[in-house]
Amino acid sequence: MADKLQFDLVSPERLLFSGQVDMVAIPGAEGDMGIMAGHAPVMSTLRPGIVNIDEAGKPQQRIFVRGGFAEVTPKGLTVLAEFTVPLAELDAAALDREIAHAQEDVTDAKSDAKRQAAQEKLDHLKQLRQVI
């Protein structure tokens, strides 16, 4: 069994991480999962939460994900996330302002489709706010 796990974290916007790690904790739909080298193959949907990346000798990296899929194969772990943002990039004050604007957008929406889109954005922002 190898000591390191190949881990790739991909979002529609960019490749956030690719490398050899000791362990990755992911927010699976059925609960949090810790993945290390030699883990049994598994596929899972993701719920909103934090991916924790552990590499020996480095500070833990923490990345918020909202939805997506995780697949463990003999080659490693791949996470395809709908949306990602490193926790280090989040600013609480700016996020609070965005939440206030999103709440206004929900109130001001003229159609059900626009209201639904605005509500989804608001829910997403609130999820981000909960983790910082």
Measured distance CA(76)–CA(80) in Å, rounded = 13
Q: Per CATH, which fold does 5-88 belong to? A: ATP Synthase; domain 1 (2.60.15)
Measured distance CA(105)–CA(16) in Å, rounded = 30
pTM score: 0.76
CA 17 to mean position of chain CA atoms: 12
Q: Percent of the chain scored above 70 by pLDDT? A: 98
Total residue length of the chain: 132
- Name the DSSP letter for residue 22: S
- Name the DSSP letter for residue 89: G
The whole-number average pLDDT for the span 103-120 is: 91
Model pLDDT for residues 35-79, shown as the tens digit of each residue: 999 999 999 999 888 899 999 889 999 998 888 999 999 999 999
